[in-house]
A and B are shown apart, each in its own frame.
Chain A
Amino acid sequence: MTETLAPETENKTKRRRRKTPMARSESRFGVALILPAVLVVAVLVVFPLLWNVSLSFQKARLIDIQDVSILGADWTTKNYDTVVGVRDFWPVLKTTFIYTIGGTILSIFMGLVAAMSLQKAFRGRALVRGVVLFPYVVPVIAAAFVWQVMLNPQFGIVNEWLGWFGIPAIDFLRTRSYELSVFGLFTLTIPLALTTVIFFEGWRYFPFAFLFILAALQSMPKDVDEAAYVDGATLSQKFRYVTLPALLPVISVLFLLRFIWTFNKFDDVFLLTGGAADTEVITVKIVDWMIGRGNVGAAAALGMILAAILVVVVGLYFKFFYQEDEA
């Protein structure tokens, strides 16, 4: 076949009849280009995901890892019994949800406030916008360790600041629960280490929400704004009745993405607390099953549970919150 042009329109009319030789060569070209990418993902992501299913039904130990086969000899649900049977299974699940929802909401709220503040141009805005993204781009390991040092009860700066107000040193990352006295009126018991970890998530991921919300704010039509002004709406009314409804699609997409990614997150909690003081989330537990206890099968089983919960939650999201016109 001679080299000819294959514009999209011409193709479409021809496809309705039979596949032309040209369309077939186009198809071959497309497949050839994408093949390497598909192979890489198939071998390194899809195949392992399937293997994980089989692993979760086999007896697989870290020490005899060389003998673990792909399909395994005798399938058993023992791994699932083991994983669900341990005392801290339900507490870990609860922690995971509090951590995920808390971190997601806090990061989106902070991102919203930051985006609203930086919406209008001022001198130096470009610089501030760049600096505000730091928490998101800094390597997680550096971020986690600088937080550890800042929160250290002996020499950390945060406790030094608390000291100015006469508050005794607090070990933020190792205190399970803390009695917070509210103006001497009543006391609140808060899970301190977990709350601290949630604040870390808020701090680290608000730039992500900030960028998306800022982009949405800046693409909003000006005339609605002006109409609200002419109608005499105050700033808070304008936010409540104009801006917020217009931002809802972006916010709900952000909520979904951040929920999924926080739910799957391992590094942050592992590096900050190692899962101590009631901060152990399901991913940290999975790595603990695998490396700490050398039980690969149990790790795989818990991984399956993680994936199942994720699928259910995302399914519910699409059933109840997703509208066609979104984003």
Chain B
Amino acid sequence: MTRAQFEERFFGTLKWISIVFFTAIALFPLLYMLALSFKPIQDLLLDPGKWWPTLDQISGFETYRAVIRPVSEGGFGFLTFIRNSSIVAISTVVLTLSVGILAAYSVARVNFFGRQAVSVGMILVYLFPVVIVAIPLFVMFSRMGLRDSLYGLIIVYLASTLPVTLFMLRGYFQSIPVELEEAARVDGLSRLGVIRKITIPLAAPAIAAVALYVFMIAWNEFLYALLFILEKRELWTLSLGVNQLNSQEVPKTMLMAGSVIISLPIIVLFFAAERFLTEGLTAGGVKG
């Protein structure tokens, strides 16, 4: 066997081992989380190796009911948190897209003084430490009475997702043939009409990808929520709700159920739009 043949075989085998390894490390924690959200912790303590639940442990959805039930009925009030998270994430998506599409079009297509500076400035902002912005915002919002409100959270998420949106959409807008827009102008559309009737429909896949990203960022966010709304339980988003379950007094089964509740919508959305997302990610480079 020559060296070349040996390497062919060696790396050929190694490749499959690596594929199995990466699939396993990506998938196993989620399966484990799902299983443990049903498995009573006493059973697990008896034999940690038997982590999968039995059928009748699954059928009742006991832990999920307890997590979702309002506090007044002895639960953890997750229904409210789901509602808050949805309000915050959807509002952020709508606001970011309305402001971001116009801005991205401007940077991609319109000649104006300072266009380059704005592009570069936005990217720089995107690289700055979130904690540093959070401290003065905390002071500012406290003084303006915007702390302890979902509005405050939404506008902070708007500001932190705008640069990504601008960056990702700009590239896509530039790839749309300019002749299409010119033809529409000749046919009598105004400039705003062109954006509404030509650019937006043509960029629909990119816009969908950006919308999903912004949704994920707002849905998953933890630091700002912790700083701004911790003191008002009725305003908590899901991340604060799940964080509260991480305590000595709460069984880990509940913690895992909460984790499943916050992860499930994201995973479903991700699978629904995986192709857009992977393309969008490499086009823009998304902060993590």
Contact = CB atoms under 8 A, between A and B. Distances in A.
B45 A154 contact: yes
A68 B49 contact: no
B223 A266 contact: yes
Contacts of B105: 33
B235 to A, nearest CB: 17
Contacts of A84: none
Contact of A137 (B110, B142, B256, B266): B266
B191 interface: yes
A104 to B, nearest CB: 12
A150 B106 contact: no
A49 B132 contact: yes
A9 to B, nearest CB: 10
Interface in B118-172: 118, 121-122, 125, 127-133, 135-140, 142-143, 155-156, 158-160, 162-163, 166
Nearest to A274: B246
A292 interface: no
Contact of A41 (B8, B142, B163): B163
B131 A146 contact: no
Nearest to B239: A141
A145 B243 CA distance: 9
B36 interface: yes
A115 to B, nearest CB: 10
Interface of A: 3, 5, 7-8, 11, 23, 26-31, 33-34, 36-38, 40-41, 43-49, 51-52, 55, 60, 65-66, 68, 110, 113-114, 116-118, 128-143, 145-150, 152, 154-157, 159-160, 203-205, 207-208, 211-212, 215, 232, 234-236, 257, 260-261, 263-264, 266-267, 271, 283, 286-287, 290-291, 296, 299-300, 303-304, 306-307, 310, 314
Given A29-B191, A136-B288, A155-B45, A149 B36 contact: yes
Contacts of B222: 140-141, 267, 271
Interface of B: 3-4, 7-8, 11, 15, 18-19, 22-23, 25-27, 29-30, 32-33, 36, 41, 44-45, 48-49, 51, 99-100, 102-103, 105-107, 110-115, 118, 121-122, 125, 127-133, 135-140, 142-143, 155-156, 158-160, 162-163, 166, 178, 182, 185-186, 190-191, 216, 219-220, 222-223, 227, 238-239, 242-243, 246, 252, 255-256, 259-260, 262-263, 266-267, 270-271, 274, 278, 281-282, 285-288
